[in-house]
């Protein structure tokens, strides 16, 4: 499993791996927002936390179809399915690799992008914290969507349509944590819900992803 994680990380940072694509997309979305809604700093600071969350969510979505598509095309997925690695484990490792290469950079860069949106002081802690807690759910749910659409031509758009509605609870509670953090309000309830969503999906969805992969490999 560690070998698979190391291989996926190595592939992501080599040419054509798409590392940094999500990061650049996040940066562009966040810089476009002030152009779109105007430069009033009051308005910007009110929407900053939500914009950062939506930007991070869309950036996560961008690289989902690569999770299985490339391994499917070159036959790696067939070989992995016949290897001693349990497919559930392989799926979890792939979700982890996606999180490490796509979501974690977004978490780390979010305070810097908060500056561009005039994020209020409380947000510099709670936006990254809520993203760090919520993005694992985005990766795991996305891996499930990628497993569902593997092998389909032009599966990327279908993948987005399938996955975005499933992202709604994570977005609601993640953005709520960030917003309450900004306003300095009590945030234990949404924080626990967000953690619950992340751990729940992490515990259950790999089994579903492995099952649909097996069906898709037939």
Partner 1 sequence: MELVVRDLGVARGGVPVLDGVGFALAPGRALVLRGPNGVGKTTLLRTVAGLQPALAGTISGGGERIAYAGHSDGLKAMLSVRENLTFWAQVFGQSDIAPAIQGFGLTGLEDRMAGTLSAGQKRRLGLARLGVTGRPVWVLDEPTVSLDTASVALFAQAVRQHLASGGSALMATHIDLGLDEAEVLDLTPFRAKPRAAVQDEAFL
Residue ranges in contact with partner 1 by CB under 8 A: 2-4, 7, 10-11, 14-17, 73-76, 78-85, 217-218
Cβ-based nearer residue to partner 1, 40 or 78: 78
Q: How far is the CB of 152 from partner 1 (least distance, A)?
A: 15
- Tokens read off for 60: 């996560």
Rounded-to-integer distance, Cα 210 and Cα 91, Å: 7
CB of 19 to partner 1, least distance (A): 12
Give the integer Cα–Cα distance in Å for 84 and 82.
7
Task: Specify the residue, 31 or 83, whose C-beta has the smaller distance to partner 1.
Answer: 83
Nearer to partner 1, 186 or 218 (CB): 218
Minimal distance in Å, beta carbon 16 to partner 1?
Answer: 6
Q: Which residue lies nearer to partner 1 by CB, 21 or 164? A: 21
Interacting residues of 202 by C-beta distance below 8 A, sequence separation 6+: 92, 95, 136, 137, 140
CA–CA separation, 112 vs 23, rounded Å? Answer: 12
CB of 207 to partner 1, least distance (A): 18
**Which residues, 6+ apart, have CB-to-CB distance to 162 below 8 Å?**
145, 148, 149
């Amino acid at each position: 499993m560690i070998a698979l994680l190391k291989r996926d990380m190595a592939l992501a940072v080599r040419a054509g791996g798409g590392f940094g694509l999500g990061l650049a997309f996040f940066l562009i979305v966040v810089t476009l927002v002030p152009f779109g809604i105007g430069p009033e700093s009051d308005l910007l600071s009110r929407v900053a936390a939500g914009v950062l969350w939506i930007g991070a969510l869309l950036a996560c979505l961008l690289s989902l179809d690569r999770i299985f598509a490339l391994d499917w095309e070159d036959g790696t997925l067939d070989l992995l399915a016949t290897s001693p690695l349990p497919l559930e484990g392989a799926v979890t490792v792939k979700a982890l690799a996606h999180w490490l290469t796509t979501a974690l950079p977004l978490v780390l860069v979010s305070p810097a992008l908060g500056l561009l949106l005039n994020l209020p002081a409380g947000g510099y802690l709670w936006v990254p914290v809520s993203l760090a807690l919520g993005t694992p759910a985005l990766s795991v749910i996305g891996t499930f969507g990628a497993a569902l659409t593997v092998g389909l031509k032009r599966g990327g758009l279908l993948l987005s349509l399938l996955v975005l509605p499933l992202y709604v609870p994570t977005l609601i509670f993640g953005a709520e944590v960030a917003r309450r953090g900004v306003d300095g309000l009590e945030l234990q309830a949404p924080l626990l819900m967000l953690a619950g969503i992340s751990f729940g999906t992490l515990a259950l969805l790999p089994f579903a992803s492995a099952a649909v992969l097996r069906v898709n490999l037939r």
